[in-house]
Chains A and B, each alone.
Chain A
């Protein structure tokens, strides 16, 4: 019966098929890098804790309000989103020592000696009707202001951007520009949405 010889199947193309599959999987599985704005929420206040925010002087607080129509009110004045970053930077550093901008507290910082650290606190308030898009854009601008200030200082001192510095130098810069963005309890002025 077995007239024909039992021939082995040529397995040479097997590798190609496997390669094809491999490439398909490499392309199809999206290793999508999740990224976003990392923030930390404040802990819930204890029930019997007294409110003691009276300590913070008004001149140290940079108030950013967003209403339900996505308009900004910064320090009592309406503002466009694109101006917010510069304004925030100016407020934090207070280069001209204006009386209505934050005080500076001379602090001992490693590498810098005594440095006048701004007591600035950014207070962000939004309405329940504010669009999330606007909220994120504002958060982004505020974080960007801090990041730019840190980068500028790092460039000035070490000639490198902040992210390339070793840990203790980063910490020194963080001590000078601590990111203090506080969010007040939400208010509902613009109606239910």
Chain B
């Protein structure tokens, strides 16, 4: 018992919490810097289809995205309602894809180039014609690793 009372006497002082905000701010800045808010502003409607045999995309820095879908209503006047390709923030043609992949390659180290993956984010209601054209372009430029973006399916077929 004596021991306990001894301790209690000493612990009268509270720990200084003055540096706590600094620690938290540090954490906050860490998160603000590391989480990439790389959300491309989508100008087309993309609702990817569902699948079960999904694989995660490993390294985000090695992935380039190609979006295909129908333009959103506000762009319909200019771009029509047929499915369109979007690269980064702008509408693109099938012929722009090669240049896009070349640019992506130039931004990376030479030894990373074989690891580059192209993620196709395609709306489920698009017909295969445009997707096939995109795939042919990717084959021409030898960007063979692709990933058909999909959501997890929870219901049965």
Interface: A103 (CB within 8 A): no
Partner of B57, one of A29, A36, A128, A137: A36
Q: Known contacts A34-B56, A186-B128, A193-B127; is A136 also within 8 Å of B35 by CB?
A: no
Complex CA–CA separation, A135 to B117 (angstroms): 20
Partner of B35, one of A25, A128, A130: A25
Least CB distance from A35 to B in Å reads 4
**Interface hits, B102-157 → A, CB 8 Å:** 117, 119-120, 122-129, 131-132, 135, 138-140, 142-150, 152, 156-157
| B1-9, B25-33, B71-79, B87-95 - the one binding chain A | B25-33
Contacts of A136 in B (CB 8 A): 49, 51, 124, 148, 150
Contacts of B28 in A (CB 8 A): 18, 21-22, 25
Complex CA–CA separation, A187 to B125 (angstroms): 19
| Cβ contact within 8 Å between B144 and A40 | yes
How many chain B residues sit at the interface, stated as a range, is 35 or more
Interface: B17 (CB within 8 A): yes
Complex CA–CA separation, A37 to B145 (angstroms): 11
Interface: A147 (CB within 8 A): yes
Interface of A is mostly: mixed
Q: Known contacts A36-B148, A131-B126; is A143 also within 8 Å of B53 by CB?
A: yes
Interface: B15 (CB within 8 A): no
| Cβ contact within 8 Å between B128 and A41 | no
Least CB distance from B5 to A in Å reads 30
Complex CA–CA separation, A186 to B150 (angstroms): 22
Contacts of B123 in A (CB 8 A): 132
Complex CA–CA separation, A141 to B77 (angstroms): 39
Interface: A81 (CB within 8 A): yes
Interface: B10 (CB within 8 A): no
Contacts of A26 in B (CB 8 A): 31
Q: What is the 8 Å Cβ interface bit string for chain A, positions 134-153, against chain B (1 contact, 0 not)?
A: 01110110011001000000
Chain B positions within 8 Å of A, measured between CB atoms, are 17-18, 20-21, 24-25, 27-28, 31-32, 35, 37, 48-57, 60, 63, 117, 119-120, 122-129, 131-132, 135, 138-140, 142-150, 152, 156-157
Chain A to chain B contacts (Cβ below 8 Å), 13 pairs? A31-B35, A34-B56, A35-B149, A36-B119, A38-B55, A38-B146, A40-B144, A41-B135, A82-B157, A128-B129, A129-B128, A132-B123, A139-B148
Chain A positions within 8 Å of B, measured between CB atoms, are 11-12, 14-15, 17-19, 21-22, 25-26, 29, 31, 33-44, 68, 81-82, 126-133, 135-137, 139-140, 143-144, 147, 186, 188, 192-193
